[in-house]
Amino acid sequence: MSDNVKINVNGLQIESEPNKLLIEACEDSGIHIPRFCWHKRLDPVGMCRMCLVEVETPRGKMLVPSCTTEVSDEMVVDTESEIVKKAQEGVLEFLLINHPLDCPICDKAGECPLQDQTMAYGPGESRFVEEKRHFEKPIPISEIILLDRERCILCARCTRFSDEISGDPLIEFIQRGNKTEVNTFPNEPFKSYFSGNTVQICPVGALTSTSYRFKARPWDLKSTRSTCNGCSMGCSIELNSSQNKMLRILGVDNEHTNQGWLCDRGRYNFEYLNSDQRIKAPLKKTEGNREETTLQDVYSDLSKIIEDRSNKITFLLGSNLTNEEFTSFNEFSNKLGNNDNSIYLNEDILFKGFFDENIENAKIEDLNKSDAIIIWAEDLKETLPVLYLRVRQAVKNGVKLVVFGHTNSTLADISDVYFGGETVSNNFEIVKDISKLKEIKEHIKDKNVTAILGKASPNQSDQSLEKLFSYLKDNSNLKLLNAFNGGNSFGAFQTLGSVKGNREFSSEISKETTDLLFVVGADPVGKSIFSSNIKNIIDEIPTVVALDLFIHETSELADYIVPTSSTLGEKEGTFTNIEFRTSRIDKLIPSPGQALSDWEFISGLSNFCKFEGMSESLKDLNNKSFDSFALDTKPTFDNLDKPRNLDGIINTSVPNINTTDESIEFSDSFYVGKKLYGDKVTERHSKSISLLGSSQFIEGSESTFEKYKLNSGKCILVQENIEITVSYKINPSLPDSLIFFPKNRRNMNKLDFSKNIQILPSHSMEVLNVN
Amino acid sequence: MKETILLTKHMRENPEDSHLIESYEKSNGYTTAKKTLLGSSPEKVLEEIKASNIRGRGGAGFPTGVKWGFLAENEERYLVINADESEPGTFKDRILLERDPHQLIEGIIITCFAANIKNAFIYIRGEYAKPARRVQSAVEQAYQNGYLGKNIFGSEMDLDLVVHLGAGAYICGEETALLNSLEGRRGEPRLKPPYFPAVKGLYMKPTLVNNVETISSVPWIIENTGEEYNKLGVEGSTGTRIFSLSGHVNVPGNYEIEMGSTFGDFVETLGGGIRNNKKVKAYIPGGASAPWFRGDQLNIKMTIDDVANNNSMLGSGAVVMMDQDTNLVNAAKSIVSFFAHESCGQCTPCREGTTWLEMILDRVASGRGRTSDLELLLDICDNISPGLSWPPKMTTICPLGPSAVSPITSLMKDFREEVESMIPTKVLL
Amino acid sequence: MSWDDKLIKQAKKIVKIYPQKRSALGPLLHLAQSKDGYISDDSVSVISELVGITEVQVKSVSTFYSMYKQEPTGKYLLSVCKSISCEINNSNSIIDVVKDFTGLSNNETDEEGLFTFEAVECIGACGGAPAIQVNYETVEGLSTENTLNLCEWLKNETPDLVVADELQNKFGGTKSFDWAISDNSGTTGSVPGFQTLNTTKDKK
Ligand SMILES: Cc1cc2nc3c(=O)[nH]c(=O)nc-3n(C[C@H](O)[C@H](O)[C@H](O)COP(=O)(O)O)c2cc1C
Ligand code: SF4
Ligand code: FES
């Protein structure tokens, strides 16, 4: 680049983009300046003073913090002078005088910048003979985070993260001067979906997670880079294990996707891997009893059924498979002569999406580059949390935000325009003429717009979204992200010949059409809003095979259960995110017992059936998954493992989502959606997450609940012979009469939303409980 | 020497009611503002201020005209009067607030006219309850008379003025900390760059921050011209200044004088000499942040530059005299402990260093010092203010941290024996 | 919300004075203190709603400033200055008198809730050192004897309104400067007396 500036650092000439911070410019050229408070993704505060360097000015050499000083042309910098060294030693000594000497029991030891820099720059001996500052040793500030104020060096990373990035400033500096501490408000825990990031960026062991506490030493850790499959954001992660146990997940700074951040579900929903409830051997049901069997036995039974079948063989696949596994099922299904028509994705609300050669698929980084962002989708904070952070970031950088109706209430708070109940009906229809909405026009007319569109609720019709889409398309320079959020759903779109969802499954499949059903990594009986339908289907179908990690409401109905490996650290493959960026899934730990990857199972079964022309290896499947792409941009393992491709490779394609738009009729006043923490079997077996997702509730506006005469904070949901006690939360942004049901919370799937649900006040039962 | 009475004229001539608008108007108050708004131009006012060569009275001594000239163009701009006066030894703004609030308001009106500002604030330290009451009443009277609000004096100009009460934090005197405080945040100084108030100030909008005394001088300058003002005092320190004299003097108080005479002259004549005819052991020439002078340095001239050339500062104009019997270790400890208490806590060297210094001085003062403490004290100071030179180099965001270094370097440079004498001799066991 | 309507109305009026809501945080904290003598968690919640920030953000600000008390204060907040000019004018002996009389150490409040004692940094009364503030009403030129008299008088008379001029006339000495006309407005509690806060009154 021609407009780069040249600066002189320690006698060396280096180049940098203008306006870069000195510390970053030096870092880019391999000159490391020590620091504590500075973090690339946070606004600089220049508080710790560790990064001081000398810069020549008209008034002579000056000590300046390199983390707050921008480079300018011909700047002359010394990062190693005597004065600089003395200042750094001084800062270190100051930080250490009140820092406890508890490294031997500190989680951060071994990867602690304070410890490292003390070795590198620190004074040998303490000159501080006074008493150190004391605080009560670690105090829990949420169900999963502990705070040890004695260790805190007041770098403001956690407070800045919470305020600037996640937008829930629940942790702050208290007191001033030498008494300053970081803390939460009494009785107001650090309840943030993103709290784990503060643990990761805390430069000392002041913030620790209960999940990792005392579990390991960094020097014992094995690690690898992978991709989170918790939602379709595709955050880059580092997996850490010790003695073959997964112990920790860290966010990796991938500029294009998560920029280092993770949501707490992505970070802590791995504890299930170590659960002793994992299935370890194949199980077979004979006369109602489940017994251990061998894989060979399963193959042999299934091959007979496959041979003798008179009907179809159907697949219901979870979204957490790798691209290679989807390809393997696709191949297998084709081999069975199914013509692409018998694979279903375990997603309730698949809509057709807006994929077509004429509409440009947005990249996540486009959010930051557009003039405006338009959102109408399920709550991003709950379903694509790190995308939510990226939207926030864009807004902070001045991008305008327009939010449509009811679901994205937190983003509505920071939006420039919000279209609530007057524009969007309780059934998620736009009730006004969009072209007459002045407020939106000024932000989009001939501007660069990135839209995030998806079904806000299952009862929203495709047409209502299409109306908005075509308006945006006609009036702006539009790029679009289709807000499907289930794990590797974009991988499925890309690799499966055709995709349908649970709605189609429950109306198309029966014992008349299907002899054999594979349910793979999916628990629709436990989780789908079509749960009761699907249960009936599974009960009827002659043979059902479940490939899964756990026994749950669906797998327990199966005739065969085959234990499989988790996509989190137990297998290799690739993952494709919401912007069609494909990145690596890597293996770090062995699978329990006889668990095997789904593709290995299919490969074994194919071999047993003597099918020919099937992919033999993972590498074959990987190549086959991306058949149609040009060679150099094919996300093959070889390509992805090249250093320049570690952040993934984008390749868009037009998927064939073969769904119908039969609208699901909900009772007018309900809508359902996911909350970040749910009741999936993996979540139930991850302690940290199960703590966070244990409450059951519904949401509505104050006036809505007044109509039901609720007043005790709890209510009872009644439908036929089902009774569920839940609490009700006031969500002021919901329009009158609209009630939200979190469908992934325990028991909620028992309710049939197409039928009436009574909401009754709960009378306190405690009084009767004399015992 | 004699006082030169400009700023304190009205209050002296009207001791009974100088704070009331009726009295101020009787002394031709507000006529300058009225004339200016109806007949002058912002450029003209700025010219006069520049011609006066007045330098800010808040401590840093920055030329006021230059500062006004820096104010960035914007629809929204603000004026904030720094009435946080908390530097130990200083009580000059207090008299201007308490006894002549309308002079300040008139200064504000003229300043806002010159800088095209529609919103002004007076940030008064919370402990100044009575001065704040007086100012608040004065503001209300000014509104009633149409001197604040819409179409002031029937001109085109609108101005709103809010009196805002601080809550006990010296650091809020630092202009960017003050702005944070006024925004309802912790009073932590902002980074300069990029937050120069004249460009990114209150609510990130261009903002003028000026001291009470600076703005109180504006009506006189405009009425009598900058040229006349410039004739008073000496080059580089023009006009009059109110000095707060305290410590072991016979007649402590506020004195308005032209800069240029010696500290010795000042103390002997206006201050009535040192109590009980004692000698001066050391004195502080410009508030607690300033390095001390010895008793044999009383012939230094009271100008910004003379004091600076002698490695200290005229600062806030607070002169504190310490007689021959003063325990200077205790005095230094009092000052260091002030800065430790008032550190905002952002910068590691200030937060940790000042408290550490306080702890060591406390040990020394109570007879538990060690010989090594002397070097330790200086080395800690060096880590807060590298080189221990004047003006101080800083490892910190704002000058508060380095201010705590002043009394210790003074002590060590000129009174080392006194400190050493407090270290118990080692008992051999 | 547990502030009564009158207080909420007053608070909302204060919020309106400023171009941005958050600027009202400081005055609202003073208001909270005038209600309870300290910043209660409950007030923090009320204020957080009024200015639209989280509770811990309010707490963060309130604990930064030494005049916002985190614990209940007595009817009379006795703040003795210990900064340099007072220090070299024997403020220590004044502190000792107050401590002895009240039986309190620094930042303590007596059980009756009558006195809170604190040794504070410079209160801008250096010319009249040593000095004290009673509920932020300044008394200058103290002697140890007059300090004791002042404490006793407060204890016996328990005036509802503390007026600087009255205390100065009764117990003060050398002043920083001539206060000129005597003033009869004063402070109603352990917050500064200030019109906007309704914490000042005129003594009849
Ligand atoms: C730690 C610190 C405390 C300060 N306290 C005050 C103060 O109490 N009053 C004041 O007017 N200026 C104070 N200043 C100076 C202000 O930052 C600023 O320079 C001044 O208000 C500008 O006004 P002037 O140009 O009229 O002097 C302080 C500066 C520092 C660094
Ligand atoms: S030097 Fe001290 S007071 Fe100034 S910003 Fe740093 S910590 Fe705060
Ligand atoms: S890294 Fe620059 S001051 Fe902390």
Phi-psi region of B184 (alpha: psi -120 to 50; beta: other; left: phi over 0): left
C160 in a domain, yes or no? yes
Boundaries of every domain in chain B:
9-231, 242-323, 328-421
Tens digit of each residue's pLDDT (9 = 90 or more) over A88-97: 999 999 999 9
Instruction: Give the closest-approach CA distance of A245 to chain C in angstroms.
Output: 38
Q: Of B174, B192, B215, which is best to mutate to test ligand 1, by the most ligand atoms within 8 angstroms of its C-beta?
A: B174
Cis peptide before A186 (omega within 30 of 0): no
- When pLDDT is averaged across residues B188-213 and rounded to a whole number, the result is 97
Is residue C195 in some structural domain? no
Compute the count of residue pairs across chains B and C with CB atoms less than 8 Å apart.
197
Task: Please tell me the distance from the alpha carbon of residue B6 to that of residue A723, in angstroms, as a whole number.
Answer: 84
Residue A519 and residue A317: Cα distance in Å, rounded?
A: 6
Partners of residue C57 in chain A, C-beta under 8 Å: 169, 172
pLDDT for residue A634 = 93
Q: What is the mean pLDDT of residues B368-390?
A: 96
* Per-residue confidence band for A661, with pLDDT thresholds at 50, 70 and 90: confident
Q: How far is the CA of B59 from the centre of ligand 1 (A)?
A: 5
Q: Quick check: B271 contacting C, CB < 8 Å?
A: no
- Chain C residues with CB-CB distance to A175 below 8 A: 63-64
Ligand nearest to C-alpha B207: 1
Residues 99-158 (B) with a CB less than 8 A from some CB of C: 99, 119, 125-130, 132-133, 136-137, 140
Q: What number does the ligand 3 atom closest to the CA of A51 have?
A: 2
A159: CB partners within 8 A, 6+ apart: A169, A171, A172, A173, A182
Any bridge partners for residue A448, and if so which? A477
Q: Which of B402, B194, B336, B290 is nearest to A90 (CA)?
A: B402
| CATH code where residue C14 lies | 1.10.10
Q: Are residues C10 and C57 in the same domain?
A: yes
The predicted pLDDT at position A770 comes to: 37
Alpha-carbon distance values, A500 to A22, A163, A343, A690 (Å): 52, 41, 7, 30
CATH number of the structural domain B242-323: 3.10.20.600
Assess whether C132 and C50 both reside in one domain. Answer: no
CATH 3.60.21.10 fits B328-421, yes or no: no
Could you tell me if C153 lies within 8 Å of chain B, comparing CB atoms?
no
Question: How many of the other CB atoms lie within 10 Å of CB of A556?
Answer: 17
Residue A7 structure tokens: 């600066």
HSE, CB side, 13 Å, CA atoms: give it for residue B347.
32
> Does the beta-carbon distance from B348 to A49 stay under 8 Å?
yes
Q: How far apart, in whole angstroms, are the C-alpha atoms of residue B395 and residue A84?
A: 10
Helix (H, G, I), strand (E, B) or coil at B327: coil
Two tokens at A552?
Answer: 């749950």
Same-domain pairing of C80 and C106: yes
> Taking 80 as the threshold, does the pLDDT of residue A662 lie above it?
no
Please indicate, yes or no, whether residues C106 and C52 belong to a single structural domain of this protein. Answer: no
Fold exhibited by the domain B9-231 = Rossmann fold (3.40.50)
The shortest CB-CB distance from B129 to any of C22, C174, C187 is to C187
Nearest alpha carbon, ligand 1 atom 22: B210
Tokens of A636: 């093959």
Residue C105: burial class (beta carbons within 10 Å; 0-12, 13-18, 19+): exposed
Q: Is the shortest distance between the CB of B340 and ligand 2 below 6 Å? A: no
pLDDT digits (tens, 9 = 90+) for A754-766: 888 999 998 644 4
Q: Where are the beta strands (DSSP E) in B112-197?
A: 119-124, 160-165
Average pLDDT of the segment spanning A271-282: 97
Contacts of residue C166, defined as CB under 8 A and 6 or more positions apart, other chains included, come to: C184, C186, C203
Atom of ligand 3 nearest to the CA of A37: 4
Interface of C with B in 91-120 (CB under 8 A): none
Cα distance between residue A609 and residue A302, in whole Å: 9
pLDDT at A603 > cutoff 90? yes
Any domain includes C196: no
Encoded tokens for B218: 């504006």
Answer whether residue C177 is part of any domain: no
Residue of C nearest to B133 (CA): C194
Across chain C, which has 204 residues, the per-10-residue mean pLDDT values are 91 98 98 97 97 98 98 98 98 98 98 98 98 98 98 98 97 96 94 95 90
Contacts of B352 in chain A (CB under 8 A): 94-95, 97-98, 178
Residue A338's pLDDT band, with cuts at 50, 70 and 90, is confident
Interatomic CA distance for residues A92 and B349, integer angstroms:
9
Q: Which two tokens stand for residue A409?
A: 């209430």
Going from the Cα of A259 to the center of ligand 3, the distance in angstroms, rounded, reads 20
Number of residues written out for chain B: 429
Q: Is the pLDDT of residue A767 over 50?
A: no
The band of A413, judged by pLDDT with boundaries at 50, 70 and 90, is very high
Of B132, B187, B320, the CB nearest to C64: B187
DSSP string, A424-471: B-TTS-B-S-GGG-HHHHHHHTTSEEEEEE--SSTTS-HHHHHHHHHH
Are residue C48 and residue C85 in the same domain, yes or no?
no
Distance to chain B for C4, nearest Cα, Å: 23
CA pseudo-torsion sign A221, A222, A225, A229: negative
Position C197 in a domain: no
DSSP B188-245: PPPPTTT--TTTS-GGGS-EEEEEHHHHHTHHHHHHH-HHHHHHSEETTEESEEEEEE
Same domain assignment for residues C34 and C94: no
A616 burial type by CB count under 10 A (0-12 exposed, 13-18 middle, 19+ buried): exposed
Whether chain C has a CB inside 8 Å of the CB on B342: the answer is yes
Most confident of A105-114, A644-653, B137-146: B137-146
Residue A474 banded pLDDT, cuts 50, 70, 90: very high
Percent of the residues in chain A that have a pLDDT greater than 90, as a whole number: 84
Spatial distance between the Cα atoms of A154 and A152, rounded to a whole number of angstroms: 6
- Of the pLDDT bands very low, low, confident and very high (cuts 50, 70, 90), residue B257 is very high
Q: Which residues of A touch B193 (CB under 8 A)?
A: 68-70
Average confidence (pLDDT) over A385-401: 98
Pocket perturbation via mutation, ligand 1, pick of B81, B175, B213, B335 by most ligand atoms within 8 A of CB: B175
Rounded to a whole number of angstroms, the distance from the CA of C10 to the nearest CA of chain B is 16
Please indicate, yes or no, whether residues C104 and C81 belong to a single structural domain of this protein.
yes
Record: contact A170-C54, CB cut-off 8 A: yes
C-chain CB neighbours of A170 within 8 Å are 54, 56
Nearest-ligand number for the alpha carbon of B216? 1
Q: What is the pLDDT of residue A765?
A: 47
For residue C201, the chain B residue with the least C-alpha distance is B133
Distance from CA of C89 to the nearest CA of A (A): 27
Q: Which of residues 281-340 of B touch C (CB under 8 A)?
A: 284, 288, 318, 320, 322, 326, 330-331, 334-335, 338
Beta bridge partner(s), residue A5: A16
The reply to whether C91 and C145 lie within a common domain is yes
**What's the CA gap between A594 and A140, in Å, rounded?**
39
The verdict on C25 and C85 lying in the same domain is: no
From the candidates B174, B348, B381, B382, which should be mutated to test the interface with A, based on the most A CB atoms within 10 A?
Answer: B348
Residue in C41, C60, C65 nearest the CB of A172: C60
Tell me the three state secondary structure of residue A754. Answer: coil
Q: Are strands B240-247 and B253-258 parallel, antiparallel or unpaired?
A: antiparallel
Give the confidence band of A292 by pLDDT, cuts at 50, 70, 90.
Answer: very high
The ipTM (two decimal places) reads 0.96
Interface partners of B (3+ CB pairs, < 8 Å)? A, C
Clarify whether residues C98 and C164 are in a common domain: yes
Phi, psi (rounded to 5 degrees) for A316:
-120, 110
Alpha-carbon separation of residue B277 from A198, B248, B325 (angstroms): 63, 10, 12
* B386 to A98: CB separation less than 8 angstroms, yes or no: no
Q: Pocket of ligand 3, candidates A48, A53, A114, A154: which has the most ligand atoms within 8 Å of its Cβ, to mutate? A: A48
Task: Give the pLDDT confidence score for residue C1 in this predicted structure.
Answer: 54
Ligand with the closest atom to the CA of B171: 1
* Cα A426 to Cα A232, A421, A727, A758, distances in angstroms: 27, 7, 22, 18
Task: Say yes or no: B310 contacts chain A, CB-CB below 8 A.
Answer: no
| Side-chain-facing half-sphere of B309: CA atoms under 13 Å | 9
- Interval between CA A211 and ligand 3 midpoint (Å): 30
Which stretch of DSSP H or E encloses residue A495?
helix A489-495
Q: Structural domain tally of chain C? A: 2
Q: Structural domain of residue C155, as residue ranges?
A: 76-171
- Asked if the peptide bond before residue B391 counts as cis, ω within 30 degrees of 0, the response is yes
Does A710 contact ligand 3 (Cβ within 6 A)? no
Q: Which ligand is nearest to the CA of B350?
A: 2
Q: Report the neighbours of C using a cutoff of 3 or more CB pairs below 8 angstroms.
A: A, B
C190 occurs within a structural domain: no
Letter for the amino acid at A500? K
pTM given for the model: 0.96
- What number does the ligand 2 atom closest to the CA of B174 have? 4
Cα B294 to chain center, whole Å? Answer: 22
Round to whole Å and give the CA distance between B97 and C201.
19
Beta-carbon separation of A87 and B386 below 8 A: yes
Q: Per-residue pLDDT averaged across A345-358, rounded?
A: 91
Is the pLDDT assigned to residue B348 strictly greater than 80? yes
Residue range A626-645: mean pLDDT, rounded? 92
B186 Cβ under 8 Å from any chain C Cβ: yes
Q: What is the mean pLDDT of residues A286-292?
A: 91
Retrieve residue B278's tokens.
């004692």
Q: Quote the pLDDT of residue A771.
A: 33
Domains by residue range for chain A, with CATH: 5-96 (3.10.20.740), 283-345+491-566+575-619 (3.40.50.740), 360-482 (3.40.228), 670-770 (2.40.40.20)
User: What is the residue-averaged pLDDT of chain A?
Assistant: 93
Residues 6+ apart with CB under 8 A from B120: B78, B79, B80, B81, B108, B111, B112, B159, B160, B161, B162
Same domain, C110 and C140: yes
Which residue's alpha carbon is at the smallest distance from atom 31 of ligand 1?
B174
pLDDT for A139:
96
pLDDT tens digits along B78-99: 999 999 999 999 999 999 999 9
In a domain, C51, yes or no: yes
Per CATH, B9-231 and B328-421 having the same topology is answered no
* C-alpha–C-alpha distance, residues B91 and B89, integer Å: 7
Ligand 2, atom nearest to B171 Cα = 3
Question: In this model, does residue B370 exceed pLDDT 70?
Answer: yes
Band (pLDDT 50/70/90 cuts) for residue A54 is very high
SS (H, E, C) A92-127: HHHHHHCCCCCHHHCCCCCCCHHHHHHHHHCCCCCC
Cβ proximity of A598 and A564 under 8 Å: yes
Q: Is there a domain that residue C102 lies in?
A: yes
